[in-house]
Chain A
Amino acid sequence: AQTVTQSQPEMSVQEAETVTLSCTYDTSESNYYLFWYKQPPSRQMILVIRQEAYKQQNATENRFSVNFQKAAKSFSLKISDSQLGDTAMYFCAFTTHGSGNTGKLIFGQGTTLQVKP
């Protein structure tokens, strides 16, 4: 079975500081995608960043970057220069890729991040 685990239920960080959210996953597939989604209180799930498993280079999107360790099945999210608007629940997610796959996402339990002024 494919699983995604986020072991940090809650995190907090001071504004302008850097924070890292952890995620591990389990799969026997070799071709897959990993994602970080942000869910603010409005409930709207927003894609923050994605990583293709076949790419060794870590993805970056402005203040957001990942540390993808394929052998360790680890996929952490680093948020630099944290802003108050980053306060939200963050979900790590996984989907397999290729013919016959549906693209359905498997989510972790989430990490609630609070950015303090």
Chain B
Amino acid sequence: GAGVSQTPSNKVTEKGKYVELRCDPISGHTALYWYRQSLGQGPEFLIYFQGTGAADDSGLPNDRFFAVRPEGSVSTLKIQRTERGDSAVYLCASSLIGRVSYNEQFFGPGTRLTVL
């Protein structure tokens, strides 16, 4: 079956612009995670969705970052007024159930965002 997909693969934008990054999880996976990976670093948690609701958004760095998952499947990470420090690879992962019991997270290939 299809894995987690993310679009676009690469995104180059100018400082101050708005961007949207899309994640298509594995069908049937109710849990969805966004992580941000800066160059040469490990991924850092941003936000977790259980179904349609953001159950944990403690990792979002500031109010310029926002994510939605309106139908409990596809998710969009939105970044307003981009800054050069937002340049990173944004990873999405999905799993059957996020909490309580362990379920493996399957990762997408990421979107590399470059803010000029």
Q: Report A-chain residues with C-beta under 8 Å of the C-beta of B55.
A: 102
A83 at the interface (CB under 8 A from B): no
Closest to B105 in A: A105
Contact indicator B100/A98 (Cβ below 8 Å): yes
Most chain B Cβ neighbours within 10 Å, of A46, A47, A102 = A102
A105 to B33 alpha-carbon distance, docked (Å): 9
B27 within 8 A of A: no
Question: Interface residues of A toward B: which range?
Answer: 20 to 34
- B51-108: which have CB < 8 Å to A? 55-56, 59, 89, 91, 93, 95, 97-105, 107-108
Q: A112: shortest Cβ distance to chain B, in Å?
A: 9
9 nearest A-B pairs in the assembled complex, by CB-CB distance: A107-B42, A45-B107, A103-B98, A104-B45, A102-B56, A43-B110, A102-B48, A107-B43, A44-B109
* Chain A residues close to B by CB (< 8 Å): 4, 6, 33, 42-47, 50, 52, 91, 93, 95, 97-110
**28 A-B contacts, Cβ less than 8 Å apart?**
A43-B91, A43-B112, A44-B107, A44-B108, A44-B109, A45-B43, A46-B107, A47-B104, A91-B43, A97-B102, A99-B99, A101-B99, A102-B48, A102-B55, A102-B56, A103-B98, A103-B102, A103-B103, A104-B33, A104-B48, A105-B35, A105-B43, A105-B105, A106-B45, A107-B44, A108-B42, A110-B41, A110-B42
